[in-house]
Chains A and B, each alone.
Chain A
């Protein structure tokens, strides 16, 4: 990029300034029209204009709190699950123990019955001629 010679540049700028196109005059009631238009415009203060930004930041904070809360809740739920597992294990163990005890008693009962039946058979055999 080369500059126009300074004289030419100055001449051009002077010519432009001397023959500056003048805009047509404004209508006499233009100012009043504008003021009426402003009256119709609801004025929004800086705080109101910044409302969306404030709302966004609040939403972000609320989101973070929600995440933190849900995390805490999940941790608590996991703990519940762990407790439930422990309970289930306890129940199964207890139940098995109970079953085992029952089985032992059943075995005893069977043995008693078998002994009784054997005794009856021997009695029948001795009484017969």
Chain B
């Protein structure tokens, strides 16, 4: 029994070992992709596609989502040879996604504004009380999506990365290239504004 315990203490936990291995595997994939290996990049795409897609969806909505995802990965492929630290790939890819979203907003500003106005108009209609849980869930998802659209892109970015993507303040500061204090401040204002919006729509929090 004592031997088993000693042995357990000497060995790192399985979860920690798995994470280390995954990180090492990812680093290897990043390095190979940086050397022009397309099959490694395909694997990276499979690992990150959902996260990039989700982030871009929260930031830009459904309009041109496929193109935006493609653009993000294309930029990643082009930029990989210059990525100095493979371990920062995740942060770097989020940063690319953020830049893609911002560029999309700048290029399509009139369209972006009209979409937001439509969202605002829709949000002014009184919300219905749904009967079934599924419909209720869809309704809430729609409200969250509309609520996000009411925030500025800066506030939305921080809220999406922190509350939805579950990234720490420090990493968000690196992604957005802003001080950590600014991340906290934006998060506070974003939450306050979103909470107000949701309460106006009849959601009790």
Contacts and interface: CB of A to CB of B under 8 A. Distances in A.
A48 to B, nearest CB: 8
A115 to B, nearest CB: 103
Size bracket of the A interface:
20 to 34
A34 B74 contact: yes
A55 interface: no
B65 A45 contact: no
A12 B191 CA distance: 8
Interface residues of B, number: 44
A41 interface: yes
Interface stretch (A17-25, A59-67, A75-83, A96-104): A17-25
B81 A26 contact: no
Residues of B contacting A: mostly: helix
Contacts of A39: 38
B42 A4 contact: no
Contact of A38 (B41, B185, B191, B205): B41
Contacts of B191: 4, 9, 12-13
Interface stretch (B5-13, B51-59, B170-178): B51-59
Contacts of A1: 185, 188
A8 B195 contact: yes
A121 interface: no
Contacts of B202: none
B195 A4 contact: yes
A17 to B, nearest CB: 7
Contacts of A13: 163, 191
A26 B144 contact: no
B163 A16 contact: yes
Interface string B52-70: 0110111000100110011
Contact of B164 (A4, A11, A17, A45): A17
Contacts of A38: 38, 41, 74, 77
5 contacts: A4-B191, A12-B198, A17-B164, A20-B164, A21-B145
Given A24-B57, A24-B62, A30-B66, 9 more contacts: A8-B205, A18-B140, A19-B141, A19-B143, A23-B57, A34-B73, A35-B42, A37-B70, A46-B81
